[in-house]
Structure 1
């Protein structure tokens, strides 16, 4: 707990410590991470104007290779374009 106005205590955060709103939740590659549970959720990324990077969840469908295949067909950034985010198996 951060206490205010006591000697030798950690200072409380004031104005000026905030994060830039444009870069919030942004990966170093410039993409935002989007968790994909099934192939239908990839279609949602086509309608978005922001650059998203698809990441398959751990409990993927029975054919987990179908998500990266579909992502490459519809030109959604995946492992090859977004190096910081990888498809989990």
Structure 2
């Protein structure tokens, strides 16, 4: 007589999503450069992408701008979260912690008012990019840009108030 086989549960091998794997909290070696190496610049932008929330009925009426406003009506289907209606912004839609506040270049913005502020970025030139404040004069801008070039710091608005139109 043949004995019945013991029931052996089938264990599926866990496959990780690329984005989930990259955003793993337990990975101490994760860095922006590793992300771009794995996914390329297009993948970096994909990691940084955010959902656009439009105002309810902004597509119906021209007088309503598309910028998000929370619906407050007593019968509003979006506020009541009916199926098939647009999603309301919530904490779950927050951007990836690794790419939060990051520009498409992969740097985080740092506001600079003088040459001394640029020197703060000397050791962090791969993480932060200098952004010259709007109130800085064109003469000081030239000094800031020159110092940033020496230190290898990226300046996001290097051409502002420095170049002239022809």
Normalised to the residue count of structure 1, the TM-score between the two structures is 0.70
Q: Choose from 54, 68, 73 the match for 2:150.
A: 73
Q: Aligned-pair RMSD on alpha carbons?
A: 2.7
Q: Flag structure 2 segments of 5+ consecutive residues without an equivalent.
A: 1-69, 72-78, 162-166
Which residue is equivalent to 2:113?
37
* 1:19 equivalenced with 2:95 (yes/no): yes
The aligned length equals 83
Deviation (angstroms), 1:86: 1.9
Higher strand share: 1
Q: Which has the higher contact order (CA 8 A, sep 6+)?
A: 1
* In 2, Cα distance between equivalents of 1:49 and 1:73: 11
Deviation (angstroms), 1:7: 8.5
Structure (1 or 2) with the larger CA radius of gyration: 2
SS in 2 for 1:65: helix
Deviation (angstroms), 1:48: 3.2
Deviation (angstroms), 1:14: 5.0
Higher helix share: 2
**Structure-2 change in CA distance of 1:49 and 1:36 (3 Å):** closer
**Structure-2 change in CA distance of 1:7 and 1:30 (3 Å):** closer
